[in-house]
Every structure is written in structure tokens, then in C-alpha cells.
């Protein structure tokens, strides 16, 4: 038994590590394709990109781990079945369920590790990832003066360079447009050529221009002559300096991102739900106490059988027309006040209730990640023993199909929970509830050596039906 267990574990560990690395690589490439425009051309250091990719990989574990477990288990048992090793194990008097014991232990350890990771490490990784991604996307492009493009990289200036030299520092056909927001004076500068360089420490960008002219437009004198004046200045050499502090990566305080539910662990999510529910209950009680004094206007008189009493008690009193109009006006004004108060409380409580549902979604995700690893193993192991195909061919197709079923159902359930259509437990566990019977059915078929994927058995079955129909 120990040698069989060791054989199965060795057959599982290699496919699991390889598939996990492949899936993480694919998800990382999807991340790069999505944010390639925000990363290229901004002058980031290599370690900033590497740090962002590392945090992105940590956030992808929730998707990569279940898929890797499913694919590796199908490959493991499919390879054992293809090489007739499962037949040898069964011939030795060892059932498939007993042969799955070491795999069950390994996958259980992976499930517990996934729960610990999602509760302790994933919130920190999400915090680092989203805060760094926000700063990266806010960073301005490091391509300061592209050719033939009006660049607004520097506040208050629009610069266009017709052509650059081979060294990237020589400039030809420079046009600089400046607008002073305080005095509203406009100036345009043209230069035939120039050079640019950065000061030590990349503090400033210096432009040395030659053979140019500058035009300035200013308002006229106050009084009779209010026409604008145009002045022209010619120069042989001119030096302009632009501040580069805005092009350096500035990190935002991470405390501003801690309020998101992805950055909370189970303890913090419980505390948030408790505090928010307490705020909702307090708001309802305060609103009820504020509305209660107005309820006297809506007390209906007791019905009498002798006379047709009017609906409101105010009609039983003898009031003048002006007093009746004043009473109706006061009543409508107070009714509008009550309506406004109820609407504000309802809007605030609706937002709080929606936030509670979102927090419950993240709370349930901590547990569903562990459960889905067990469920997908329960599907993958018997499925591999039934199809008896190893490698990256048919197992990849089957595993992707089942994973898509799980992902689509879980996504629909999560959206339904956030919209308030279903309870958080049912919505977040619906995919596991649906896939668990499928896994149990496949396990039963694999243990009983049922050929559910054998085409000949289905042909014989349909032939029997057709023969009976003809008879």
C-alpha cells in the first residue's frame, strides 16, 4: 500500500505543479494585456513591474488553484488508466476508493492551505496590488516630447517637436504654447532647433533653443483703447526649465484602500457586518421616533352604525373655510416632511444593506475556495479513471468545460447575492451544491467500472430501443 500511495502521489505532484504554473502564467499574461497601456512608456523601474506582477499572481490563486486541482487529477488518474496501472491496482485487490486515500489527504491539505491563504495573505496581497495599480495608472507617461504630437505633459504648456535627432536629444521644429491662467496671457514660441537634457537626479528637464521667435498677446490699456496688443521677440539662444517631479511614481497611502471588502479578513468582515447592521437598526428606530408624533393626523374615528361619519375626525368639527385650508396646508407640508425623511432613511439603509451583501460575498469566498478544491477533485479523479487518457489533450478540454460550468454558476450566484435576489449562503454555494452530486455520481461509476464514455455501449442501447420499436 505504501508503494502504491507513493506512486499515486508522484503521479499527481508533477502535473499539479506544471498545470498550476501554466495557469498562473496565462492569467498573468491576461493581466499584462489588459494593463499594457498603463505600464509601457512611463519609465518605471524593473522592480516596480515585478512587484505588480507578483501581487497580481497572488490575486489569481483563487482561480488558478481549483482549475489546477481539477486538471491535474484528471491527468493523474487518466495516465494511470491509460498505462493499465489502475487495472494492476484493482487486480491486487485494492479498490479505487482506497487508492484515492493519499490524494484525498493531499487535496484536503491544499484546501486548508487555500483557506489560510484567502484569510490571511490574500487581503494583504489585494491591498498591495490595488494600491500599486492605482498609482501606476495615475502615473504620467515618461515619453515627454514625442515627434509630431502636441504634448500636454507639463501643466500650462503645450509642446510640439517636429523631429528628433538620432540621439533623442536634438530637437528640430519646436513650438511651445503657453497660457497663463492668472493673467490669461497667451504666448507662442517657435525655434528652429534645440537640445534637451535632464538635470542630475531627474529634477528638471532643460530645453536649450536656438534661432527662434516668441509672440505674446496681452490685453490693452484700461480706458478708450481696449484692443489687445501683440508683441514679438526674436532670440538666438534661450533656455527653458520644466519640473519633472510629477513624472516620478508617488505612492498613495494604503489606508485609503483598506475599506474595500477584498482587503478584509473574516474577523474584519464580521465586525463590518455587525456595525453596519447596528447602524441600520438605529436608523429605523430613530426614523420611527421622528414619525410617531405625526401619526395623530392619520387616526381614523370609530365607525358608527347610526350615522355615516366622515373619514377624518377633523370633519366633525365646525371650522371656517380659512381654518380648513390652513389645516390642509399644514397637513400636506408635514406629509412632505415625513416623505422626505422616509426616503432619505430608505436610501441610506438600502446602500448599507447592499454593502452588507457585498461583505457577505467576500466572507463566503473564504470558505468556497476550500470547498471547491474538494469538489473538483471529487469530479476529476473518477473522471480521469473513466476516460483513461493522460497528457494535455482530452483532460484539458474536459477540465475547462467543468471549470467553466463552475465559474458561470458561481458568477451568476454572486451577482444575484449582490442584487439581493437570493441569500448569500445559497448564492455563493450554489455551484458547489450543483457539482457535488455530479462528483458523487462519477465516483460511483468509476468504482463500479461503468463505461459511461464508451460509445459502443450507447450504440447497443439505442439498437435495442429501435428493435423494440420495430417489433
pLDDT digits (tens, 9 = 90+) for 395-439: 788 888 888 898 899 889 888 888 888 888 898 899 899 999 988
- Which range (93-97, 215-219, 314-318) has the least confidence? 314-318
Please provide the average confidence, as pLDDT, over all residues in the chain. 78
At 42, list the grid cell.
512611463
More confident residue, 434 or 153: 434
At 451, list the grid cell.
463505461
Tell me the pLDDT band of 43, cut-offs 50, 70 and 90: low
Q: Using alpha carbons only, give the angle 342, 344, 348 rounded to the nearest 5 degrees.
A: 115
Q: With residue 232 as reference, give the H or E element that holds it.
A: strand 229-243
What's the rounded Cα separation, in Å, for the pair 331 and 348? 26
Whether residue 273 contacts residue 266, with contact meaning beta carbons closer than 8 Å, is answered with no
Packing angle, helices 101-116 and 321-387, rounded to 10 = 150
Whether residue 390 contacts residue 450, with contact meaning beta carbons closer than 8 Å, is answered with no
Mean pLDDT of 363-377: 89
Whether residue 22 contacts residue 396, with contact meaning beta carbons closer than 8 Å, is answered with no
**How many H helices and E strands in the chain?**
13, 6
Q: Using alpha carbons only, give the angle 276, 277, 280 rounded to the nearest 5 degrees.
A: 90
Of 73-77, 239-243, 290-294, highest mean pLDDT: 73-77
What's the rounded Cα separation, in Å, for the pair 7 and 83? 13
More confident residue, 389 or 34: 34
Whether residue 157 contacts residue 144, with contact meaning beta carbons closer than 8 Å, is answered with no
The pLDDT score that the predictor gives to residue 316 is 47
Whether residue 361 contacts residue 414, with contact meaning beta carbons closer than 8 Å, is answered with yes
What's the rounded Cα separation, in Å, for the pair 176 and 160? 7
Packing angle, helices 46-59 and 2-34, rounded to 10 = 120
What's the rounded Cα separation, in Å, for the pair 114 and 374? 11
What's the rounded Cα separation, in Å, for the pair 403 and 415? 18
Mean pLDDT of 368-392: 82
Residue 181: pLDDT above 70? no
- Which range (24-33, 315-324, 436-445) has the least confidence? 315-324
Q: Using alpha carbons only, give the angle 427, 432, 435 rounded to the nearest 5 degrees.
A: 130
At 336, list the grid cell.
412632505
The HSE-up count of residue 129 (CA atoms within 13 Å, CB side) is 19
What's the rounded Cα separation, in Å, for the pair 245 and 202? 8
Q: Count of CB atoms within 10 A of residue 83's CB?
A: 13
What's the rounded Cα separation, in Å, for the pair 168 and 279? 61
Mean pLDDT of 308-329: 62
The pLDDT score that the predictor gives to residue 300 is 45
Q: What is the arrangement of strands in the sheet containing 229-243, beginning at the earlier edge strand?
A: 150-151, 157-164, 170-179, 186-198, 204-218, 229-243
The pLDDT score that the predictor gives to residue 248 is 62
The pLDDT score that the predictor gives to residue 298 is 47
The pLDDT score that the predictor gives to residue 250 is 61
At 396, list the grid cell.
484539458
Residue 114: pLDDT above 80? yes
Output the pTM of the full model: 0.67
Tell me the pLDDT band of 317, cut-offs 50, 70 and 90: low
Whether residue 357 contacts residue 420, with contact meaning beta carbons closer than 8 Å, is answered with yes
The pLDDT score that the predictor gives to residue 433 is 92
Mean pLDDT of 321-333: 78
- Which range (43-47, 73-77, 299-303) has the least confidence? 299-303
The pLDDT score that the predictor gives to residue 467 is 77
At 221, list the grid cell.
490699456
The pLDDT score that the predictor gives to residue 452 is 62
The pLDDT score that the predictor gives to residue 294 is 63
- Which range (63-72, 183-192, 205-214, 453-462) has the least confidence? 453-462
Residue of 364, 412, 141, 341 whose CA lies nearest to 266: 364
Residue for cell digits 489606508? 255
More confident residue, 182 or 2: 2
Of 8-22, 183-197, 283-297, 323-337, highest mean pLDDT: 8-22
Q: Count of CB atoms within 10 A of residue 332's CB?
A: 10
Alpha helices, H only, 208-320: 266-291
Packing angle, helices 46-59 and 122-138, rounded to 10 = 140
Q: With residue 443 as reference, give the H or E element that holds it.
A: helix 424-447
Tell me the β-bridge partners of 206. 197, 241
Mean pLDDT of 214-231: 67
Q: In sequence order, what E strands does 49-151 have?
A: 150-151
Residue 290: pLDDT above 80? no
Dump pLDDT digits (tens) for 72-111: 888 888 887 777 777 777 777 777 777 777 888 888 898 9
Give the rounded percent of residues in the chain with a pLDDT score beyond 70: 82
Note the Cα 383 to chain centre separation in Å: 32
Residue 309: pLDDT above 60? no
The pLDDT score that the predictor gives to residue 183 is 52
Residue of 374, 204, 352, 354 whose CA lies nearest to 280: 352
Residue 363: pLDDT above 70? yes
Amino acid at each position: 500500500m505504501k508503494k502504491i500511495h507513493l506512486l499515486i502521489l508522484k503521479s499527481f505532484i508533477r502535473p499539479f505543479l506544471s498545470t498550476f504554473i501554466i495557469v498562473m502564467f496565462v492569467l498573468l499574461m491576461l493581466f499584462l494585456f489588459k494593463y499594457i497601456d498603463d505600464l509601457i512608456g512611463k519609465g518605471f523601474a524593473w522592480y516596480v513591474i515585478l512587484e505588480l506582477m507578483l501581487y497580481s499572481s497572488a490575486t489569481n490563486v483563487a482561480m488558478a488553484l481549483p482549475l489546477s486541482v481539477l486538471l491535474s487529477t484528471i491527468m493523474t488518474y487518466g495516465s494511470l488508466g491509460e498505462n493499465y496501472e489502475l487495472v494492476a491496482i484493482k487486480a491486487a485487490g485494492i479498490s479505487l476508493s482506497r487508492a484515492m486515500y493519499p490524494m484525498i489527504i493531499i487535496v484536503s491539505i491544499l484546501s486548508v492551505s487555500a483557506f489560510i491563504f484567502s484569510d490571511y495573505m490574500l487581503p494583504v496581497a489585494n491591498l498591495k496590488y490595488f494600491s500599486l495599480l492605482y498609482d501606476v495608472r495615475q502615473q504620467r507617461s515618461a515619453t515627454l516630447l514625442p515627434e509630431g504630437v502636441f504634448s500636454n505633459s507639463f501643466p500650462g504648456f503645450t509642446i510640439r517637436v517636429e523631429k528628433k535627432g538620432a540621439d533623442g536629444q536634438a530637437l528640430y521644429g519646436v513650438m511651445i504654447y503657453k497660457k497663463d491662467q492668472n493673467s490669461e496671457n497667451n504666448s507662442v514660441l517657435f525655434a528652429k532647433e534645440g537640445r534637451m537634457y535632464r538635470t542630475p537626479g531627474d529634477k528638471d528637464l532643460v530645453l536649450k533653443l536656438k534661432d527662434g521667435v516668441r509672440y505674446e498677446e496681452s490685453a490693452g490699456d484700461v480706458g478708450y483703447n481696449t484692443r489687445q496688443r501683440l508683441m514679438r521677440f526674436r532670440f538666438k539662444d534661450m533656455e527653458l526649465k520644466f519640473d519633472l517631479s510629477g513624472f516620478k511614481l508617488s505612492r498613495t497611502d494604503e489606508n485609503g484602500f483598506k475599506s474595500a471588502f477584498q482587503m478584509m479578513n473574516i474577523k474584519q468582515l464580521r465586525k463590518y457586518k455587525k456595525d453596519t447592521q447596528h447602524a441600520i437598526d438605529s436608523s429605523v428606530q430613530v426614523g420611527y421616533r421622528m414619525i410617531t408624533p405625526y401619526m395623530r393626523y392619520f387616526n381614523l374615528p370609530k365607525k358608527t352604525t347610526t350615522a355615516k361619519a366622515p373619514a377624518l375626525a377633523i370633519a366633525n368639527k365646525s371650522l371656517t373655510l380659512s381654518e380648513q385650508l390652513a389645516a390642509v396646508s399644514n397637513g400636506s407640508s408635514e406629509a412632505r416632511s415625513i416623505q422626505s425623511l422616509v426616503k432619505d432613511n430608505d436610501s441610506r439603509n438600502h446602500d448599507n444593506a447592499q454593502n452588507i451583501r457585498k461583505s457577505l460575498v467576500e466572507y463566503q469566498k473564504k470558505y468556497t475556495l476550500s470547498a471547491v478544491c474538494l469538489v473538483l477533485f471529487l469530479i476529476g479523479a473518477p473522471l480521469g479513471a473513466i476516460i483513461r487518457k493522460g497528457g494535455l489533450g482530452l483532460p484539458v478540454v474536459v477540465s475547462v468545460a467543468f471549470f467553466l460550468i463552475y465559474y458561470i454558476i458561481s458568477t451568476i450566484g454572486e451577482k444575484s447575492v449582490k442584487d439581493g435576489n437570493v441569500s448569500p449562503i445559497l448564492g455563493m454555494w450554489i455551484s458547489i451544491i450543483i457539482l457535488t452530486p455530479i462528483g458523487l455520481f462519477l465516483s460511483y461509476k468509476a468504482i463500479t467500472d461503468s463505461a459511461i464514455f464508451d460509445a459502443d455501449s450507447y450504440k447497443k442501447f439505442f439498437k435495442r430501443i429501435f428493435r423494440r420499436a420495430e417489433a
